[in-house]
Amino acid sequence: MRKALTYLVVLAIAAVVVAACGTPAPTPTPTPAPTAVPTATPVPPPTAVPQPTEPPKADQVTTGKERFTGYCAGCHGGGFSTANLNGYKSAERLYDYIKARMPPGNPDMISEPGRYDIVAYLLTEAKLIPAGQVINADTLPKIAWAEPAAPAGETQVASGEKTFGASCAGCHRAGFTEKVVRRYRTAAALFQFIRTSMPPGNPDLIPENKVYDIVAYILLKSGLITESQPVNADTASTISFE
């Protein structure tokens, strides 16, 4: 009995082995190859487009010189000296004169900033303001200067000649003949005319004492007084040349 049982067990084992050997091994599933990811082409950064830059702004004096050349030099080619400008005594008076009178007959031709530029140029050239001093609506009323005293020993006629050259010669380069001067008949009448009418549009430009100096110079040049004869408020009415 035992032998029979052992035999059955051996048969069963053999059957299992045969069955195992006869069954084909499963075909391994191929592992798919990884899909190649395309490499991105690097994009170059955008090239900066250069922005147009404004040219450096010219300083006010340079601009003022250009405007003066364009608007004023036709009549005032020689510019203005310190003596020319002393009589204004302030930047505001000079500005107001340009605004009201220049160019003659068409003062609105120059813009407000243009007038400031011209004033800055004139005062800088005459050394009445420091280089770099800006002239505008805020600074204009603050800029003033005193008229320098006459040099020691300067005669009235010499002072009058200097003032005439600075304030009158632009229009009256040839001076005045005796015949023209005699029309006024007295030194006082000539003084009154200059004091109330000259320069045109800005008669307050020349101080009273300087007007007397001009009268003395004109009368001497016309041969109507001597150099030692003073012309002032006390003597003007007594000097007659009718």
Do 60-142 and 156-238 share a fold? yes
- What architecture (CATH level 2) is domain 60-142? Orthogonal Bundle (1.10)
CATH classification number, 156-238, choose in 2.60.40, 1.10.1660, 1.10.760, 1.10.3470: 1.10.760
Give this prediction's pTM. Answer: 0.54
Domain map of the chain by residue range? 60-142, 156-238
pLDDT tens, 212-242?
A: 999 999 999 999 999 889 999 899 999 998 7
In the chain, the amino acid numbered 85 is: L
pLDDT tens, 114-145?
A: 999 999 999 999 888 999 999 999 999 999 98
